[in-house]
Amino acid sequence: MATTSSLSSIGMDAQTLNATRPNKSFNLNNPKDMAQLKKVGQDFEAQFLSQMIGHMFSGIKADGLFGGGNAEEMFRSLLTDEYGKSVARSGGIGIADQVVRSVMLQFQEANQK
């Protein structure tokens, strides 16, 4: 589960979102802002998943006449990135929802003060 402190460590908090939009603050009632927030959450989840999938492939050695080498390592990282994006797009494992929920709570707390 994503917590406020872990989101702050990756730069995902209310101040950071507002800093990326110098002319306008982030508004939870604006559908475009909410879509942007959901995309950021989905991108974070995709990156997390691609890292985890990459660790699954780290012990697998390629063999055969055309297997192995630097090119396969490079393509494997691209493949794991696409796997992560695909899983996140198809519903993921819930990290994106937690990111969105955490940022929304931060904005609600900031607006109550």
The per-residue pLDDT for range 25-67, each reduced to its tens digit, is 667 778 888 888 888 899 999 999 999 999 888 877 776 666 6
Nearest Cα neighbor of 50 from 104, 103, 6, 95 is: 95
Ordered by start, the domain boundaries in the chain are 4-112
Burial of 18 (0-12, 13-18, 19+ CB in 10 A): middle
Global pTM reads 0.67
Q: 2 falls in which pLDDT band (50, 70, 90)?
A: very low
Q: 22 falls in which pLDDT band (50, 70, 90)?
A: very low
Q: Give the number of other CB atoms < 10 A from CB of residue 33.
A: 17
pLDDT above 90 as % of the chain: 21
Average pLDDT over residues 73-84: 88
